[in-house]
Structure 1
Amino acid sequence: MMRSMYSGVSGLRIHQTRMDVIGNNIANVNTTGFKSGRVTFNEIFSQTLQGASGASESIGGRNPMQVGLGANISSIDTLMTEGAAQRTDNPLDMKIEGDGFFIVKDGGGFKFTRAGAFRLDEVGNLCNPEGLNVMGWRTDPTTGNIVKDKVNSIKILSPENMYSDPSMTKNATVSGNIQKNDPNLDSAKGVYRQVPIYDSLGYKYTVDLKICQTATANEFDIRIMANSLKDKDGNKIGSASNPIPATDANKTATFDVNTGKVVSSAADGSDTRLELTLGATTTGFSKFSTPIKIDFSNLTLFDGKTTVEAVGGDEDGLGAGAPAGKLSSFEIGTDGKILGKYSNSKTKILGQIAVANFQNPAGLQKVGNNLFQVTSNSGEFDGIGKEVTEDGGSLNGGVLEMSNVDLSREFTDMITTQRGFQANSRIITASDEMLQELVNLKR
């Protein structure tokens, strides 16, 4: 009887623990990135009243006779299944699609979380709501490439990220259509356009481009005029004694009579590029350190109007030059790279969010505030981390991961747990009544 009473007590205790876990799951049903728990039971051990015996010629074998001595908790597991997505449209909210954990750090070292509700602090660090720094990789200030070494705190609004350096124009493009019967294309007149260029300090200038018909049909002279460099206010930079550019730079654009497009006789298309030199070696004007290549291969000779225009950069927008720019916005890509956008239309990689993967994520230990820390059974963190796309995952911006609590399962488990607790309490009640009867035998 005492044995059965103690078995009932053990049953009450483990069902109470299971109810505690269920209650915690339900309480965190709306907690971002929460991972639910699960309790499993096993029997403690059994008292053997009689051992087993094998069969003989005269009698059959007998099974062991054992009485169990109650139940115990086998495990309280953390279920690491992925939670559903909750859209927030906050650009700093992120959800890991796939495996992995965000890496954060406080004075006690690295912690790990699936809750991607991040924000910026007063100095521009990317942090979680408790102020722990989100970790990742920084960029090489020389190359602008991500350096995947030991993770560091990501400071989006660092001084070097707030501004984009100016750049000198290296390429320009003259495009549009030439109407071959346009009277303004006569060699005595010509169509003029201004080519915008930037120097190494980000100051804007223009030079004059002239297009006119040559003596040969379907050929046009493309010319950068000498002494035509002006600042943004239209003031000339050169003079009669020191013209900038020093001389005209010109090339001939020959058009195919059937296609109306510029014909290139050079394999690399070099005969469709003007080279504008403004450097110190020829003009004394040192703000342009290399020649500017002006591509006119995109011109056409179609019917219609003459619509020639000149823009900085090649057809991919490269080498256009730009003034200094101020950070206007940023966005976080699916690979965790943080792309800064600047007022001068330039972009720059500001850093990359790294993630941590573990051989046994269920072996991580909860430490509160949606955080985990490593244990001897989870696997170690190498201090470097991984790119989220390395194992086929991605980051989903403007989205948070909801808890993985399944309410239908929790309520079902609650019912069976309550019934189990009730049944074990009946064991104690019945054992007590049996003991009462035993005591009453002496009366």
Structure 2
Amino acid sequence: MMRALYSGVSGLRTHQTKMDVIGNNIANVNTVAYKSQTVTFQDLMYQTTQAASGANATTGTGGTNAKQIGLGVTTGAISTTITTAGATQTTNNPFDIKITGDSFFVVSDGTQRYFTKAGNFTIDSTGNLVMSTTGYNVLGWQVNDTTGEIQKATVSPLKVMATENLTSDAEATTLARYTGIVDSDSTDINSTAGEVANLDIYDSLGYKYNTTFSMHNAEGLIDSSGNTLPEGTFYMVLDDITEEESGDSVMTSSGATFGSTLTFTDSSGNTVTANNAVLVTYDPDNSGKLSAVGGTTGATTTKLSFGTGTGQLKHSTISIDLSTSQMSGNSGTTTAAMKGGDADGNGEGRKLGKMIGISIGNDGKISGSYSNNDTKLLGQIAVAEFSNAAGLSKEGENLYAETLNSGSFDGIGVDVTANSGSMATGVLEMSNVDLSSEFTEMITTQRGFQANSRIITVSDTLIEELVNLKR
């Protein structure tokens, strides 16, 4: 009778443990990225009143099973359904991140690393990406200052809005293109002013300047060697450079040099002088492309250089590519124009830019966008993976810690996309608690608790009857 009484007590205690777990699950039904827990029972121990016996060939008797009386129940395991993802909640907050797959964000309180599925992050006063609830730093990889690429080393706090990231450095223009069709029958190209082409350039401090070039038809002119220039010969002139804000010319103060001074004689014997000019010729053997005369024969680039003056533009050189322009009949219309940078936008130059936005890619890379149309890689959120994620220890505050049975974190982490995972911004992972399942478990737990209480009641009645035998 006493055995039954204590078995009932163990049943009450174990069912109460299960109810505690169910209550915690339901309480966290709206907790970000909460992972529900389940309880499994196991029988406690047994009292053997008679051991099992084997068959006896001598007496011809068979074997008998052991006689064992169970002594109750205990909690076998409390498991976390960590690999089951919760539903997606849309927040439209760019710093809210849902992580898919079996990986975890890595965060730190400055002393110890923790792991979490909760991606409700924010930026603190020093520019660090942190958990909005605890202020713990989100860890990841930094950008190599030399290569501008992510350097996968020991994870460290992501200071995405550090002072140096709030601006994008100015960059001097180094490349430009004269591209399109040049038509020698164009009215403008045969005029005194020529076919005008404008190019905006930047110096190393980010100041913007407007340069004015003009293309002139040189067909029929006689050069200094007495040669009459054939059809398809032009000369390009740098006419002026002005500062955008003031409109003042800096042609002289910047020490700009473009080509040289060209002297021609027209058919009437008049002298034609072109300062800061480059002779350009049509190349029928090179798809009709134009090339600069002088230096290397057939060179497709010419240079605009600075450096002898006192202006901000000194110590700069801009290579102007002529190879994407060509002479062709176009009904007297020239479409060629100056454009900054190469075909891929390299070398275009830019002014000093202010940060206007931050975006996080599905691979965890954080990029800043700036008012000068530049984008800069600021870092990458690294993730941790464990051989047995269910073995992590729950630490509260949506945090987990590694244990002997979870596997260890190597301190570096992995790219979230390495094992088909990804990150999505503007959304959060919700709790994976299934209320219908929890209420069903609550009913069965209540009935189990109730039944075990009856064991105690009945055992008490039996003991009472035993005591009353003396009367």
TM-score (norm. length: structure 2): 0.84
Structure 2 partner of 1:148: 152
Asked if 2 retains the 8 angstrom alpha-carbon contact of 1:116 and 1:128, the reply is yes
Is 1:394–2:422 an aligned residue pair? yes
Q: Report the CA distance between 1:333 and its aligned residue.
A: 0.9
Asked if 1 retains the 8 angstrom alpha-carbon contact of 2:203 and 2:316, the reply is no
Structure 1 partner of 2:251: 238
Structure 2 partner of 1:275: 302
- Seen in structure 2, the aligned counterparts of structure 1 residues 218 and 32 have a Cα distance that, compared at 3 Å, is farther
- Seen in structure 2, the aligned counterparts of structure 1 residues 263 and 359 have a Cα distance that, compared at 3 Å, is same
Aligned alpha-carbon RMSD (Å): 2.9
**Number of aligned pairs?**
436
Is 1:37–2:49 an aligned residue pair? no
1:373 to 384, 398, 401: 401
Larger Rg: 2
- Seen in structure 2, the aligned counterparts of structure 1 residues 42 and 299 have a Cα distance that, compared at 3 Å, is same
- Seen in structure 2, the aligned counterparts of structure 1 residues 250 and 217 have a Cα distance that, compared at 3 Å, is closer
Q: Report the CA distance between 1:117 and its aligned residue.
A: 0.3
- Seen in structure 2, the aligned counterparts of structure 1 residues 276 and 264 have a Cα distance that, compared at 3 Å, is closer
User: Which 5+ residue runs of structure 2 have no aligned equivalent?
Assistant: 220-228, 261-276
Is 1:90–2:93 an aligned residue pair? yes
Higher mean C-alpha deviation, range 3-12 or range 49-58: 49-58
Q: In structure 2, what is the Cα distance between the partners aligned to 1:203 and 1:97?
A: 45
Q: Report the CA distance between 1:187 and its aligned residue.
A: 6.2
Q: In structure 2, what is the Cα distance between the partners aligned to 1:241 and 1:411?
A: 80
Is 1:18–2:46 an aligned residue pair? no
Q: In structure 2, what is the Cα distance between the partners aligned to 1:139 and 1:278?
A: 33
Asked if 2 retains the 8 angstrom alpha-carbon contact of 1:175 and 1:310, the reply is yes
- Seen in structure 2, the aligned counterparts of structure 1 residues 20 and 169 have a Cα distance that, compared at 3 Å, is same
Matching residue's letter, 2:70 = G
Asked if 2 retains the 8 angstrom alpha-carbon contact of 1:249 and 1:274, the reply is no
Asked if 2 retains the 8 angstrom alpha-carbon contact of 1:42 and 1:73, the reply is yes
- 1:62-101 matches, within 5 Å, as 62-81=64-83, 82-101=85-104
Matching residue's letter, 1:441 = L
- Seen in structure 2, the aligned counterparts of structure 1 residues 441 and 242 have a Cα distance that, compared at 3 Å, is closer
Q: Report the CA distance between 1:119 and its aligned residue.
A: 0.8
Q: Report the CA distance between 1:6 and its aligned residue.
A: 0.7
Q: In structure 1, what is the Cα distance between the partners aligned to 2:291 and 2:71?
A: 94
Q: In structure 2, what is the Cα distance between the partners aligned to 1:241 and 1:359?
A: 64
Asked if 2 retains the 8 angstrom alpha-carbon contact of 1:272 and 1:295, the reply is no
Asked if 2 retains the 8 angstrom alpha-carbon contact of 1:251 and 1:272, the reply is no
Q: Report the CA distance between 1:217 and its aligned residue.
A: 9.2
Structure 1 partner of 2:241: 229
- 1:264-413 matches, within 5 Å, as 273-280=300-307, 287=313, 289=315, 291-299=317-325, 301=328, 303=330, 306-413=334-441
Q: In structure 2, what is the Cα distance between the partners aligned to 1:264 and 1:273?
A: 4
> What fraction of aligned residue pairs are identical, expressed as a percent?
47
Q: In structure 1, what is the Cα distance between the partners aligned to 2:351 and 2:298?
A: 30
Structure 2 partner of 1:438: 466
Matching residue's letter, 1:117 = N
3-state SS of paired residue (2:150): coil
Structure 1 partner of 2:118: 115
Matching residue's letter, 1:199 = D
- Seen in structure 2, the aligned counterparts of structure 1 residues 22 and 302 have a Cα distance that, compared at 3 Å, is farther
Asked if 2 retains the 8 angstrom alpha-carbon contact of 1:101 and 1:355, the reply is yes
TM-score (norm. length: structure 1): 0.89
Q: Report the CA distance between 1:400 and its aligned residue.
A: 0.5
Asked if 2 retains the 8 angstrom alpha-carbon contact of 1:255 and 1:263, the reply is no
Matching residue's letter, 1:292 = I
Q: In structure 2, what is the Cα distance between the partners aligned to 1:419 and 1:271?
A: 95
1:150-196, CA deviations, whole angstroms, 9 ceiling, x for partnerless residues?
Answer: 22211122111011111111111333455664322226552101111
